[in-house]
Structure 1
Amino acid sequence: MTSNSETRAGLTAGVAVAALMAVGSMTSVQLGAALATPTLESFGPMGTTWLRLAWAALLLALITRPTLFSYSRVQWRGAILLGAAMAGMTLCYFQAVIRIPLGLATAIDFLGPLGVAAFGMRRAWHAVWPVLALAGVVLLVHDGSDWTVDPVGALFALGAACGWAAYIVLMKRVGQVFEGLQGLTMSLLVAALVAAPWGLAENGGHIPLPVLGITIGLAILVPLLPYALEMMALRRMPTRAFGILMSAEPALGTLIGFVVLGQALSPAQLAGIALVVIASLGAVAGE
C-alpha cells in the first residue's frame, strides 16, 4: 500500500518535471522569436507563421501517424478549438512583434496566462503569486526608457493574450482526451489550415525555396517543441500554476536578449526578473 507521504512526493516530483518542461518551452519560444526576426521582416509575419505551423504539423504527423477516422466527436471538437486558438495566438503575436518591442509584446501577451491563473485560484492567499508576477512584468517593461507604443501592435498583443488564455485551457483538455501527442498533431493540422489563407494572401502564394528551408528549423523551435512540452506539462500540473509559471517568459526573453543580443539589463528589470522567479517558484511549490 502506498503511503500518503509517498503519494505526495510523487506528485511533487511530477510538478517539478512539469515546471522544467514549461521552462524549456518558454526558452524555445523566445529563441525562436529572436532567430525568426529576419524572416519575419523579409517574408512577412503571416506567411512565416503559417509555414511554421504547417511544417510542425507535417513533422509531427509523420511521427505520430494520426488515425483521422477513429476519433470521437469530443476529440475532434477539442482539436478544432485548440487549433483555432493556436492559429489566432501565433498570428497575432508575430504581428505584434514587428510593431512593438519584443519584451513589451511578450509582457502584454502574458495577460492571458495571468487571467487563467487568477480565475483558477482556490484560496485567497494564492492571489499573492499573480500579483507578484504582474509587478515583475511591469518592472520588466518599464525600464526607464520612453517607448512610443504602436496602438495596432498593442491590440495584436492583446489578441495574442486572449488566444494564449484559450490555448492553456484547451491544451489541458485535449491532452486529457487524446493519447500521447495525437491531440497536438490534429490541433496543429487545424491551425495550419486556419492560418493558410492569411499566409498565402500576404505573399500572393509565392514561397521562395530558401524560406522553406529556414522555416523548417524555426518550426521546431516554435511551435513544435514548446507545444509538445506544454501539453506534457499541463498533464502534470493545474492550469493555475502553469499560468503563473508562464510569467517567467518575459524574464527569459530579457535574459536571452542580454546573453544573445547584448542588450543591457536595468536595475528595474533585474528586480522584475527576481519577482517573476519568486512568483513562479511559489506557485509551483504551493501545489
Structure 2
Amino acid sequence: MSRPNSSSILLPIGVLIVAMASIQGGAALAKSLFPLVGAEGTTALRLSLAAIILTVIMRPWRAHLTASSCRSLLAYGVSLGGMNLLFYMSLQTVPLGIAVALEFTGPLTLALLSSRRWLDLLWIGIAAFGIWLLLPITQTQTPIDPLGMAYALGAGLCWALYIIFGQKAGAEHGGQTVALGTIVAAAVVFPIGLVHTGDALFSWSLLPIALGVAVLSSALPYSLEMVALTRLPARTFSTLMSIEPAIAALSGLLFLHEQLSPEQWLAIAAIIIASTGAAATVQAKVKVPRDI
C-alpha cells in the first residue's frame, strides 16, 4: 500500500522540480539577449510572446469585465510587469541565484505578516542575516552591486503586490486572470522596451531565443506547476518552492559560469532556510502563486 502513495507524491514533486529548473533555465537563456536588446527589451519580448501564447490558449476575451473588477486586474498586471522588469534589470549585475534569493524576500515577508507567532521572528532574523551577507559592507570575494540588489528587492516587493492583487483578480476573473494580467503587463512594459531598444526589438533573428524564454519561463512551468498544485498540499508546494534559489544558483553556475563565494552561498542558504521554515510552520493566509 505504501508504494502507490510514495509514487503519487514523488511524481508531483518531480514535476515541480522540473518546472523550477525550466524557469531558471529560461532566465539564464534570457541573459543571452541582454547584449542585444537589454533587460528592458528582453522583458518586453518575453511578456509580449507570453501574452500571445496565453491569449490563444485561454481566450481571455470571454471574461466579463466591469469597471470595479478592472481596477484589481490593472493592479495585478502592473505588478506582474514590474516584477519581471525589475528582476531582469537585477540580472544585469547580480548572479541568478542571488537575484532569485533576494526576490523571495517579497512573498516571504507577506507570508510572515499573516502570522503573529514568535517563531516567525526566527525566520525574519535568518533572512535578514542572509541579506546582510550580500551587502557591500561585508568583505566578500565578489561584492554584489547595490543597484542590482535594489532591483531584485524591488522585484520581490512587486511579487508581494502581485500576490495580493492576483488573489482578488483571480476571484473575479477565474481562469482568465493570468492571460488578462499578462496582456496588461505586456502593454506596460513593451513601450519601455521599445524606447530603450528601438527597431532592434522587431528583429526576426531574436524570435527563436525570445520564444524559448517565453516557453521555458512561462508556458511550460506554468502548466507543470498546475499539475503539481492539484496533487500536493499547498504547504508542501510552498515549502518545495523555497529551494528555487538553489536551483537558480546551480543554473547560473552551469549555463552562465557564475561563480559564487562561500559567503554568497551561505546567504542563499539562509534565505532558503527562512523561506522553508516560514512555509512549513506559519499559519499562512496567503498563497504564493507563480510569477509567469
Q: TM-score, normalised by structure 1?
A: 0.75
Which of residues 185, 210, 218 is equivalent to 1:215? 210
The aligned residue for residue 146 of structure 1 is 142
Cα displacement string for residues 74-120 of structure 1 (whole angstroms, at most 9, x for unaligned residues) = 44222211110111111111122113333343333233223212212
Spell out the pairing of 1:167-178 with structure 2 (5 A cutoff): 167-178=162-173
The aligned residue for residue 157 of structure 1 is 152
Matched, 1:197 2:154: no
Which of residues 41, 52, 70 is equivalent to 2:46? 52
What is the root-mean-square deviation of aligned Cα atoms in Å? Answer: 3.6
- What is the rounded CA distance, in whole Å, between the counterparts of 1:228 and 1:77 in structure 2? 27
- What is the rounded CA distance, in whole Å, between the counterparts of 2:240 and 2:127 in structure 1? 9
CA contact (8 A) 1:113 1:161 kept: yes
Deviation at 1:201, TM superposition (A): 1.1
* Range moving further from structure 2, 254-263 or 164-173: 254-263
The aligned residue for residue 245 of structure 2 is 250
Cα displacement string for residues 39-72 of structure 1 (whole angstroms, at most 9, x for unaligned residues) = 1221221111111101111111111112356234
- What is the rounded CA distance, in whole Å, between the counterparts of 2:255 and 2:79 in structure 1? 30
Matched, 1:83 2:67: no
Judged with a 3 Å threshold, the aligned counterparts in structure 2 of structure 1 residues 66 and 228 are, in CA distance, closer, same or farther, namely same
The aligned residue for residue 34 of structure 2 is 40
CA contact (8 A) 2:242 2:276 kept: no
Spell out the pairing of 1:173-188 with structure 2 (5 A cutoff): 173-180=168-175, 182-188=176-182
Q: Which residue type is aligned with residue 192 of structure 2?
A: W
- What is the rounded CA distance, in whole Å, between the counterparts of 2:34 and 2:177 in structure 1? 28
CA contact (8 A) 1:171 1:234 kept: no
Matched, 1:64 2:96: no
- What is the rounded CA distance, in whole Å, between the counterparts of 1:85 and 1:232 in structure 2? 25
Judged with a 3 Å threshold, the aligned counterparts in structure 2 of structure 1 residues 116 and 140 are, in CA distance, closer, same or farther, namely same
* Range moving further from structure 2, 42-51 or 202-211: 202-211
* Range moving further from structure 2, 183-192 or 37-46: 37-46
The aligned residue for residue 10 of structure 1 is none
CA contact (8 A) 2:133 2:267 kept: yes
* Range moving further from structure 2, 126-135 or 203-212: 126-135
Spell out the pairing of 1:64-143 with structure 2 (5 A cutoff): 64-68=58-62, 70-136=64-130
Deviation at 1:131, TM superposition (A): 3.5
- What is the rounded CA distance, in whole Å, between the counterparts of 1:111 and 1:39 in structure 2? 27
SS in structure 1 at match of 2:196: helix
* Range moving further from structure 2, 252-261 or 79-88: 252-261
Judged with a 3 Å threshold, the aligned counterparts in structure 2 of structure 1 residues 234 and 80 are, in CA distance, closer, same or farther, namely farther
Show structure 2 runs of 5+ residues with no match.
1-7, 284-292
SS in structure 2 at match of 1:129: helix
Judged with a 3 Å threshold, the aligned counterparts in structure 2 of structure 1 residues 272 and 203 are, in CA distance, closer, same or farther, namely closer
- What is the rounded CA distance, in whole Å, between the counterparts of 2:68 and 2:224 in structure 1? 23
- What is the rounded CA distance, in whole Å, between the counterparts of 2:86 and 2:166 in structure 1? 18
- What is the rounded CA distance, in whole Å, between the counterparts of 2:228 and 2:77 in structure 1? 18
Spell out the pairing of 1:225-244 with structure 2 (5 A cutoff): 225-226=220-221, 237=234, 242=238
Q: TM-score, normalised by structure 2?
A: 0.74
SS in structure 2 at match of 1:205: helix
